Amino acid sequence: MYHRLRIQVIISTLFRSSTTMSARPFAPERQLALSAVRRACALTSSVFNKLVKNETLTKGDKSPVTVGDYAAQALISVMLKNSFPADPIVGEEDAAELRVEEGSVLRERIIALANEALVAPLVEGDKAEWGIGPGQEKTSDELLDAIDRGNHDGGRTGRMWTIDPIDGTKGFLRGEQYAVCVSLLVDAQVQLGIIGCPNLPVDASKPDGERGCIFVAVRGQGCQQIPLTGSTETALSMPAFTPSSLNFLESVEALHSSHSTTDTISSILGITRPPLRMDSQAKYGCLARGDGGLYLRMPTGVGYREKIWDHAPGAILVEEAGGIVTDSRGAPLDFGLGRTLGENFGVVAAGKEVHSAVLDAVQQATGTKAKA
Ligand SMILES: Nc1ncnc2c1ncn2[C@@H]1O[C@H](COP(=O)(O)O)[C@@H](O)[C@H]1OP(=O)(O)O
Ligand SMILES: [Mg+2]
Ligand SMILES: [Mg+2]
Ligand SMILES: [Mg+2]
């Protein structure tokens, strides 16, 4: 009797844990991508500390970013290939320039950094079968091939990952905000988004407190924040804003998003609080947790096409935290057009309560026609 009961308890415990694991779509992808982003954040922080802070490479020199970009994309791509070998990747970087520089200091640095990140000891949640941990070095050719696996053209159907190994390069060089960004698209819909922000305060009300957060969202499973150095997950949901309590999140770089257009929109909406300017997709994470009520990205001119890796991870964070993300005409962002979002009509991300008022204001400010 005692044995039967014990067996039943064991079976039901096993059943419960296996159903919770298998019942959650994209659980393996989430776990692996979290680990990859965490490792890539450690890599990029070490590039900053070793090469930028002590000015081994000057800030005017593009190479520290290049080293970090390539090495982080190689690392993430190797990890994705180990577990999901059939999934293509739309990554920002490609290795063409590195291939002609065999033996160069730059290339050797990149290989060493990627391998250092791959062989770092396993932490909670990591699995050796992901091809990480001691002894898991890759050759130069394997790492260059991994970078080039990011050459996929994108498209309307099938599974594909996006990687932006360092988003917000200007912020990275200033020692301010930047982000490591990964997403999984299935038939052009974002199903998983992960953004690692090594320099972002864990709590916006404590700007001098602990720094380093990861934001993660799976479609239908909400948006969570996890400290970079821990595993405690905090569910995020956007607070309800009204125009009087709203403030903008926008790019630091006026070339990336028109500050003057947002100023006009701000006065149409009667917003009095100053904008919160920061680089990178950290803005989407901050919006999801309520540090600001509205992220606007208004084109500064014709010609620039937004890239899918610059918006797919962020968009799902905001949607899963209860917000709405569209272009400035009210149309959904289309991640099925290829590597870019096609024609660029900006981005409007905001809470449900204010999104349509913002679209109206954008229409007034720019003379464009917003969809109902
Ligand atoms: N003219 C432009 N308009 C909008 N975004 C741009 C433009 N030029 C570069 N970007 C991209 O903006 C992102 C950073 O945005 P933010 O200002 O919000 O931090 C980067 O991915 C950067 O791409 P890239 O990595 O190729 O430089
Ligand atoms: Mg980017
Ligand atoms: Mg980038
Ligand atoms: Mg770039």
**pLDDT tens for each residue of 231-251:** 999 999 999 988 788 999 999
- What's the DSSP call for residue 49? I
- 322 alpha carbon – ligand 3 mean position (Å): 27
Domain boundary among 99, 130, 152: 152
Domain boundary among 152, 180, 214: 152
Catalytic residue among 44, 66, 69, 261: 69
pLDDT digits (tens, 9 = 90+) for 282-335: 999 999 999 999 999 998 887 889 999 999 999 999 999 999 999 999 999 999
Q: What single letter denotes the amino acid at residue 333?
A: L
Specify whether the CB–CB gap between 304 and 205 falls below 8 A: no
Report if residue 208 sits inside a domain: no
Number of domains in the chain: 2
Q: Which of 167, 195, 297 for mutating ligand 1's site (highest number of atoms within 8 Å of CB)?
A: 167
Q: Tell me, what's the pLDDT at 105? A: 86
Residue 61 has pLDDT above 70, yes or no: no
Confidence band for 137, pLDDT divided at 50, 70 and 90: very high
Catalytic residue among 94, 145, 169, 229: 169
Active site residue 291: no
Task: Provide the CATH number for the domain around residue 271.
Answer: 3.40.190.80
Report if residue 249 sits inside a domain: yes
Residue for token pair 């900053």: 48
The 10 Å CB-count burial string (b at 16+, else e) for 81-104 is bbbbeebbbbbbbbbeebeeeeee
- Compute φ and ψ for 166, nearest 5 degrees: -135, 110
- 221 alpha carbon – ligand 1 mean position (Å): 29
Report if residue 237 sits inside a domain: no
Q: Tell me, what's the pLDDT at 14? A: 39
- Compute φ and ψ for 235, nearest 5 degrees: -70, 135
pTM: 0.91
Residues with CB under 5 A from ligand 3 (ion): 92, 164, 166-167
Q: Is 180 exposed, middle or buried (0-12, 13-18, 19+ CB in 10 A)?
A: buried
Confidence band for 95, pLDDT divided at 50, 70 and 90: very high
Domain hosting residue 127, numbered range: 29-152
- What's the DSSP call for residue 50? I
- What's the DSSP call for residue 151? B
Task: Provide the CATH number for the domain around residue 144.
Answer: 3.30.540.10
Residue 370 has pLDDT above 90, yes or no: no
Report if residue 179 sits inside a domain: no
Report if residue 186 sits inside a domain: no
CA nearest neighbour of 163 among 196, 188, 140: 196
